[in-house]
Structure 1
Amino acid sequence: MAAHVVEMSYYPIKGCAGVATREASLTPAGIAHDRSFMVISEEGVFRTQRRDPRLALIRPAISDDGVRLTLRAPDTEALDLPVDASGARRPVDLFGTAYQGIDQGDTAAAWLSDVLRTPSRLVRVPPEHDRVTDGRTPGTSGYADSCALHVISRSTLELLNRKLAERGTAPLPMNRFRPNIVIDGWPEPHTEDRAHVLRIGTTELGYAKLAIRCAVTLVEQESAKKAGPEPLRTLAGYRRAAQGGVSFGTKLAVLRPGKVSVGDEVTVTSWGDSEQHASASPRPLSVAGREAALDEAR
């Protein structure tokens, strides 16, 4: 069976719930509207499920033209608001790097503060956002942790779930890892590590780096509850990255924008070696007190 796309999702607001889609436009910054908004503290520092897991309860929807944003959360009245794409800029902090954001107003701020139970505001990426991402293939992105696209294959998750079963632990759904594109048809787990140039639909994608996993993978995306040490404990046994942390999936840059649909064949035009992984330690990876070491490599 040829490798093909079986799932696609984008995340209009960084850290909030994703939107499943069957077809998408890929821009240089990834799927249109992906991570184009970000929740920040009053001081301008980005909020993340690492520290604010209730972000997972917020289900945003954005119009195709990007001019209206709807926010929904359990036991809360939905908020529909016009998107401000031209207002005053304000400084924001993403992993210690300074960017700019367009504040979306007091109504959005009050709604988010109520749901998250902490003072918060919403900002949008300004049109002149010119972020350059790192990795083997440089690119750009909105407010994503790093690169434009996050890709995982089904066989990669299946291997993890087999290892979890050996520990007597229930399998995890793909949404624990919040990918943009899920690929089926690669029987060998972690084939995505070696796929360095891919053609999907009318697009071309370039491998940037491994996806280094953080404590967001501990959060049940439906309930926003932290569910224990998995999957980081099990991943530490066989996916310790040489640069630190544990890896699962890959990050890609967009070489040629275009259209991608569920069902599209995935053609790899350039294969490469997998990045090195350190030898597994007999001790389980500690979660508490080491989230910083597991944050996305930047």
Structure 2
Amino acid sequence: MSVVSELCLYPIKSCAGISLREAVLTPAGLMSQQIYDREWMVVDADGEALTQREFPKMALIVPRIKGDMLEIHAPGMLRLEIPLGLPHPDDERLRRVRVWDDEVDAYDCDEMIATWFSKAIGTDCRLVRFHPDAKRLANVTWTGGVEVPTFFSDGFPMLVIGTGSLQDLNEKLAAQGRAALPMNRFRPNIVFSDVPPFEEEFAELYRIGEAVLKPVKPCPRCPIPSIDQATGEFGPDPLDILQTYRVNPRVGDHVTFGINTILREGEGQIVRVGQTVDMELAF
């Protein structure tokens, strides 16, 4: 039987994550201390999302939840603190922002925060926060017609990867004389251990305690796995190895690694590291 071995929350899209011992399951993804996964996002002057794909140093922006603040660190920068409380409903700092094909309203954080992020990343940008009245849904083609909310994720509320899948990749890298990669290169929310390589992709459902999660779409991979999350530098890209055995016709022959997942039952349930996972296979 599989076990939850890692939980990770990414408060700011494309910045470092927060490793958790437990998290609350919500339809929009993991939540901890009322902070949701990808609740914040960095945008350019036109409101377009910035990511590690273009700005790999975003990996070095490290958020932490400290009391009623989101505390943020970056090399060579003074600590930044952002209040966790939502702005007043009448706050007029709204900005229309875009993530892939979706446009939503977001709160525009203040000029001091924009200046801090611009210096940390090396380009003019602003930090925005998902507006509670905004609505962004995962692709219903993959969710079976179910309306599944998500914040500023690439498209789905949770990404699941099994440790066996990474071990399989690392064995192939080692056979080529290349270094093993850590799991954080693939930025999952939930990691399962004690599961054969890629079996998580062939499950119909995952049962964790009273919660039921459903894997829905294999995750097409971009260049981010080539970025060392500890240095913010591009390194050898594993996509050339993945290309030899992970081309997936279900998603237009893109290379996939990990499975996008939605919550079917158990909103508000707590998932914990060490908890067992009952994986119901689809065949």
Matched, 1:196 2:204: yes
> Which residue of the partner structure matches residue 63 of structure 2?
60
> Which residue of the partner structure matches residue 219 of structure 1?
227
- Give me the whole-angstrom Cα distance separating, in 2, the residues matched to 1:85 and 1:194: 42
* One-letter code aligned to 1:259: I
- Give me the whole-angstrom Cα distance separating, in 2, the residues matched to 1:177 and 1:81: 27
> Which residue of the partner structure matches residue 132 of structure 2?
127
> Which residue of the partner structure matches residue 96 of structure 2?
91
**Structure 1: gaps of 5 or more residues:** 274-298
Task: For residue 169 of structure 2, give the secondary structure of its aligned residue in structure 1.
Answer: helix
> Which residue of the partner structure matches residue 44 of structure 2?
41
Residues 156-171 of structure 1 mapped to structure 2, 5 A cutoff: 156-171=165-180
> Which residue of the partner structure matches residue 28 of structure 1?
27
Residues 247-266 of structure 1 mapped to structure 2, 5 A cutoff: 247-256=256-265, 257=267, 258-266=269-277
> Which residue of the partner structure matches residue 111 of structure 2?
106
How many aligned positions are there? 267
Q: Indicate the structure with greater strand content.
A: 2
- Give me the whole-angstrom Cα distance separating, in 1, the residues matched to 2:57 and 2:101: 22
* One-letter code aligned to 1:150: L
Determine what percentage of the aligned residue pairs are the same residue. 35
- Post-superposition Cα deviations, 1:75-131, rounded to whole Å, max 9, x if no partner, equal 111011224444332100111321111111111101000100100101111111221
Contact 1:70–1:81 (8 Å) recurs in 2: yes
* One-letter code aligned to 2:194: G
TM-score, normalised to structure 2's length? 0.91
**Structure 2: gaps of 5 or more residues:** none
TM-score, normalised to structure 1's length? 0.86
Tell me how far 1:178 sits from its aligned partner. 0.4
- Give me the whole-angstrom Cα distance separating, in 2, the residues matched to 1:204 and 1:126: 27
Alpha-carbon distance change, 165 to 28 in structure 1, aligned in 2, over 3 angstroms: same
- CA RMSD in angstroms comes to 1.4
> Which residue of the partner structure matches residue 247 of structure 2?
240
* One-letter code aligned to 1:262: V
- Give me the whole-angstrom Cα distance separating, in 2, the residues matched to 1:68 and 1:126: 18
Contact 2:102–2:136 (8 Å) recurs in 1: no
- Post-superposition Cα deviations, 1:163-200, rounded to whole Å, max 9, x if no partner, equal 001111110000000001110111x2100111121111
Task: For residue 164 of structure 1, give the secondary structure of its aligned residue in structure 2.
Answer: helix
Residue from 143, 148, 155 that aligns with 1:146: 155
> Which ranges of 4 or more aligned residues in structure 1 deviate by more than 6 Å?
none
Task: For residue 14 of structure 1, give the secondary structure of its aligned residue in structure 2.
Answer: coil
Residue from 209, 215, 230 that aligns with 1:207: 215
> Which residue of the partner structure matches residue 272 of structure 1?
282
Tell me how far 1:136 sits from its aligned partner. 3.7
